[in-house]
Amino acid sequence: METKKIFYLTSSGFNRIKKQYTFLRKKLVRAKEDIPPSFESDAVNSDYLFFLEELGILEKKIEELEQIIKNAKVIETPPEKRRNIVQLGAKVLLEGKKGIQKIWLVGTAETDPDKGKISDESPFGRALLGRRVGEIVLSPVAEGYRIRDIIY
């Protein structure tokens, strides 16, 4: 029996992925309507081959997004009494040697380190899970950080 991967997403991340999926589906339909004519000679038509390659990439991305949407679980805000614990969807204010940083603990489909979105499956994300305000977080890939605040 095949186990399907569950993709944990914030509600904004789920909506963003659905919009991207819709956009790419429309783009695929338009692209298929604008297929460049292939030459009827035996010569290789590089424009046509490039088009087919791009079409394949687009179809693959659409398939990936379909799987994410189909297997998505939207992260719910925890009950009030559990909001002092770092869980998926938490925005965490961290204090370290380089000052204060704000990160957002998200599922793998939403990870974007440049925007402070850290995967729960990354070494630092795993180190954060279950921690509370005031605790020091150590990770093989990051210096020690003290949790200053947890926001949901």
Q: Is 128 left (phi over 0), alpha (psi -120 to 50) or beta?
A: alpha
CATH annotation of 80-151:
3.10.50.30
Fold of 7-74: Helix Hairpins (1.10.287)
Residue 109: what pLDDT? 95
Q: Whole-prediction pTM value?
A: 0.79
Q: Is residue 3 classed as helix, strand or coil in its secondary structure?
A: coil
Angle at 57 between CA 105 and CA 2, to 5 degrees: 60
Where do the domains of the chain lie?
Answer: 7-74, 80-151
Residue 98: what pLDDT? 83
Mean pLDDT for each 10-residue chunk of the chain (152 residues)? 84 97 96 69 69 93 97 94 94 91 95 95 94 89 84 90
